[in-house]
């Protein structure tokens, strides 16, 4: 017995000794800063330099001798991108890197539902975690300034408040899986044309009120672990090494404790990168874009050139240590986090999330004569027209291009939902991009069609005359100069002669429904001739299923536009004022782009310039009807320290269950500085059964009344009279109430 007692005592002492010798950085009972301090004491100069720059297209090295594995990033905001070779953009040829494609972020924003944003982030984080990714390069929150921006589909619309409310829960959901968000592209990256050489000129008020709030919300509310710098310049300095944006605003004013990651090839100068706030440099090839040679990553601006400057005594390790501490903090939250979930991939739950987010974001723009929904219990002849009814949309568009396990087309989704009792026919209507390939991923579709436009229209019209309903699926795709990274659209019109097809179909059949598939608004010269219009977005793997569920009424549409849909490009303030795409400097490859419209973009511009959009910001119809009661306020007078609540009764007056979004806008009735006529400052989505009513309350505080004083460099809530406008779109705000800020 004594031998066993001695043995147990020995083992206990040994275990205690092991516990005492355990490195502090592995001891999760220690504070984050204690663990970082311990790690800092173990690193050499070479270790520090190594972890602040890439070692491959999507990874940076960990610290092997300390048991810290490589750190892996991956695109993108809509699904986990397939793996590429170590040092080439070509596919790695794996068979286990297919994913679920979630709806594009314009669709997510159109749900006006922060709970959906959190669900989206969780599902994406689970897929990333299963694939051993440590950082997802997204979400994107650049503001929708012009409908020509090829990358608008990756962002969350034109309004800073809406984008702020949607990005924070997305980030929280993603990071709950131990996967870092890298919110992009900070900042003022609002066009793709000349994106590497555009120098944005903007006043401080517009910068702080329009283009920064969503990033600030991602940092202060979402607690994002990563921010990606943008390609463009501001104040003549590239944003990936811009001390005003990165050090002064992001890190000092907002208290950001994460890492600033360069966009791929976004760094341009070692000394500016050292002092300008960049923490991790990523790219491809030697210069980050298109030139390369062996060991190219050691030649990055924050690699051997940085080390050489330290060894020469030109720089101390002060800036380096700050960068390294941030990277180590990122490691502790991801690769050194022993409690991260394992994740899952292509699960039924993820497909369900993708389907439900898509359906909730689809916007019913017009439904004259109640053409929709189709009645699935009354078989009839349905003609589907258009390339976008059959074309896969998950491949292409740039860095958000995906390799999916499956993608349900709109035509297949409709056929499956309607069943064999319906006679569902198809006509091509037009031919667009038939390539179906991006970065080594191919759709496998053969979309070639050699018929002339006249022949295609004639076939569609002939079939339309015999159909009970015609569903035209058109819009844009993810080809160059449409919805695609690196390219802006060349004009506002729908491509491939689609307007002629729609005009012909409208003349042939009165029950025409146009479903626009895009991430951007498009010109609709035929809008008065078409009874029903649906905005279908790029909605991923479950596109066909989600669209069918809305078109037949299984889901009552409740999406609302996250941007203004202008009638013409001339109505867009940036274009009205000649403030796009900028002016090229003489003898320099720099384009100066002044945001001449200032605050007055989107619906703010509609009010200011008194234009009439095709569809207003926040617009979206339903298969049921809603009535709003009179608005009441919790007080008539408040102080700056108070909050104030507004209540409106919302009633479902139709015969279908549905959801409405109560939107709250604030108007400052007298201000020392010019302000927009109204600004979105609150919203709430409410689900109601037929005949059901509910009092909906929205509370706002001082921040909702404030503007940025660019002289005092601070936010100001100016005493005086305000009016709150409540309704269901920026052009439909019947409930109003005034109050005074003392």
pLDDT tens-digit series, residues 134-157:
999 999 999 999 999 999 999 999
pLDDT at residue 293 is higher than 80: no
More confident residue, 3 or 244: 244
pLDDT at residue 526 is higher than 50: yes
Total Cβ atoms within 10 A of residue 470 = 27
pLDDT at residue 21 is higher than 90: no
pLDDT score at 710 = 92
Lowest mean pLDDT segment, chosen from 11-20, 266-275, 295-304: 11-20
Lowest mean pLDDT segment, chosen from 272-286, 337-351, 559-573, 605-619: 272-286
Cα–Cα dist 161/36, whole Å = 35
The share of the chain scoring above pLDDT 70, in percent, equals 96
pLDDT at residue 70 is higher than 60: yes
Determine contact, residues 301/283, Cβ cutoff 8 Å: no
Confidence bin at 9 (pLDDT 50/70/90): very low
More confident residue, 531 or 89: 531
CATH 2.60.40.10 spans which residues of the chain? 624-742
For residue 18, report the phi and psi dihedrals to the nearest 5 degrees: -65, -40
> Average pLDDT of 295-311?
93
Q: Where are the beta strands (DSSP E) in 536-629?
A: 583-584, 591-594, 626-628
pLDDT at residue 446 is higher than 70: yes
pLDDT at residue 232 is higher than 60: yes
pLDDT score at 289 = 64
pLDDT score at 718 = 95
CATH number corresponding to 360-559: 3.40.50.1700
pLDDT score at 286 = 60
pLDDT at residue 6 is higher than 80: no
Q: Which helix (H) or strand (E) covers residue 692, if one does?
A: none
Token representation of residue 57: 């297209």
pTM of the model: 0.95
User: To the nearest 10°, the Cα dihedral for 614, 496, 438, 536?
Assistant: 30
**For residue 527, what are the contacts with CB-CB under 8 A and spacing of at least 6?**
366, 533, 614
**Which of 107, 98, 84, 75 has its CA nearest to residue 483?**
107
User: To the nearest 10°, the Cα dihedral for 722, 723, 726, 727?
Assistant: -130
> Average pLDDT of 196-201?
98
CATH second-level architecture of 624-742? Answer: Sandwich (2.60)
The share of the chain scoring above pLDDT 90, in percent, equals 93
pLDDT score at 284 = 72
Token representation of residue 278: 């960049």
Determine contact, residues 277/259, Cβ cutoff 8 Å: no
Give the catalytic positions in this structure. Answer: 263
pLDDT at residue 602 is higher than 90: yes
> Average pLDDT of 19-42?
89
pLDDT tens-digit series, residues 313-345:
999 999 999 999 999 999 999 999 999 999 999
432-461: b (≥16 Cβ within 10 Å) or e = bbeebebbbbebeeebeeeeeeeebbeebb
pLDDT tens-digit series, residues 663-701:
999 999 999 999 999 999 999 999 999 999 999 999 999
CATH 3.40.50.1700 spans which residues of the chain? 360-559
pLDDT score at 685 = 98
Determine contact, residues 445/404, Cβ cutoff 8 Å: no
- Helix H, strand E, coil C: the string for 17-46 is HHHHHCCHHHCCCCCHHHHHHHHHCCCCHH
Question: What SS3 state is found at 676?
Answer: coil
Across the chain, mean pLDDT equals 95
């Amino acid at each position: 017995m004594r031998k066993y007692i001695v043995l147990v005592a020995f083992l206990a002492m040994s275990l205690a000794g092991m516990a005492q010798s355990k490195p502090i950085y592995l001891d999760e009972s220690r504070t984050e800063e204690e663990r970082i301090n311990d790690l800092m004491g173990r690193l050499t100069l070479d270790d520090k330099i190594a972890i602040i720059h890439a070692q491959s297209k999507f990874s940076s090295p960990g610290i092997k001798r300390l048991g810290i594995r490589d750190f892996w990033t991956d695109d993108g905001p809509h699904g986990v991108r397939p793996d590429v070779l170590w040092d080439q953009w070509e596919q790695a040829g794996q068979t286990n890197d297919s994913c679920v494609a979630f709806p594009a972020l314009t669709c997510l924003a159109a749900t006006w539902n922060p709970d959906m944003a959190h669900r989206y982030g969780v599902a994406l984080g689970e897929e990333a975690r299963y694939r051993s990714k440590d950082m997802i390069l997204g979400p994107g929150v650049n503001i929708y300034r012009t409908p020509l921006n090829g990358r608008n589909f990756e962002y969350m619309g034109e309004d800073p408040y809406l984008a702020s409310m949607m990005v924070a829960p997305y980030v929280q959901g993603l990071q709950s899986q131990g996967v870092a968000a890298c919110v992009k592209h900070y900042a003022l990256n609002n066009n793709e044309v000349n994106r590497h050489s555009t120098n944005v000129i903007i006043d401080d008020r517009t910068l702080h009120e329009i283009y920064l709030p969503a990033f600030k919300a991602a940092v202060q509310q979402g607690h994002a672990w990563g921010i990606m710098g943008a390609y463009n310049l501001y104040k003549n300095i590239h944003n990936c090494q811009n001390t005003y944006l990165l050090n002064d605003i992001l890190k000092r004013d907002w208290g950001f404790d994460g890492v600033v990651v360069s966009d791929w090839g976004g760094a341009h100068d070692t000394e500016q990168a050292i002092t300008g706030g960049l923490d991790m440099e990523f790219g491809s090839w030697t210069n980050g874009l298109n030139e390369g040679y062996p060991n190219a990553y050691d030649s990055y601006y924050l690699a051997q050139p940085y080390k050489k400057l330290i060894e020469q005594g030109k720089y101390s390790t002060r800036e380096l240590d700050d960068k390294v501490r941030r990277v180590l903090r990122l490691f502790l939250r991801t690769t050194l986090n022993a409690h991260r979930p394992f994740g899952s991939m292509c699960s039924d739950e993820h497909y369900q999330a993708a389907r439900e987010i898509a359906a909730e974001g689809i916007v019913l723009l017009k439904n004259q004569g109640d053409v929709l929904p189709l009645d699935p219990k009354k078989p009839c002849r349905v003609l589907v027209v258009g390339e976008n009814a059959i074309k896969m949309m998950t491949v292409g568009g740039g860095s958000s291009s995906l390799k999916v396990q499956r993608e349900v087309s709109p035509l297949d989704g409709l056929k499956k939902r309607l069943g064999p009792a319906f006679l569902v026919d198809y006509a091509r209507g037009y031919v667009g991009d038939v390539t179906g390939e991006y970065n080594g991923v191919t759709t496998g579709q053969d979309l070639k069609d050699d018929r002339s436009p006249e022949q295609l229209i004639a076939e569609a019209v002939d079939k339309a005359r015999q159909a009970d309903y015609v569903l035209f699926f058109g819009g844009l795709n993810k080809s160059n100069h449409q919805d695609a990274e690196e390219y802006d659209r060349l004009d506002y019109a729908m491509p491939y002669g689609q307007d002629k097809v729609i005009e012909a179909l409208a003349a042939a059949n009165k029950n025409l429904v146009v479903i626009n598939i895009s991430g951007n608004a498009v010109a609709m010269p035929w809008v008065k001739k078409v009874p029903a219009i649906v905005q279908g977005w790029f909605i991923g793997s479950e596109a066909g299923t989600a669209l069918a569920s809305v078109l037949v009424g299984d889901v009552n549409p409740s999406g609302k536009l996250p941007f203004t849909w202008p009638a013409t490009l001339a109505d867009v303030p940036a274009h009205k004022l000649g403030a796009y795409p900028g002016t090229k400097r003489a003898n320099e490859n720099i384009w100066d782009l002044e945001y001449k419209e200032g605050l007055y973009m989107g619906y703010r511009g509609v009010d200011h310039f008194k234009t009439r959009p095709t569809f207003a910001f926040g617009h979206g119809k339903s298969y049921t009807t809603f009535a709003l009661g009179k608005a009441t306020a919790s007080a008539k007078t408040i102080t700056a320290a108070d909050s104030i609540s507004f209540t409106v009764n919302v009633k479902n007056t139709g015969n279908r269950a549905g959801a409405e979004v109560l939107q709250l806008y604030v108007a400052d009735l007298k201000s020392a500085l010019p302000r927009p006529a109204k600004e979105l400052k609150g919203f709430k989505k409410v689900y109601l059964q037929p005949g059901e009513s509910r009092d909906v309350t929205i509370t706002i505080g001082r921040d909702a009344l404030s503007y940025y004083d660019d002289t005092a460099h601070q936010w100001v809530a100016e005493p005086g009279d305000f009016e709150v406008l409540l309704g269901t779109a920026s052009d439909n705000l019947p409930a109003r109430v005034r109050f005074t800020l003392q």
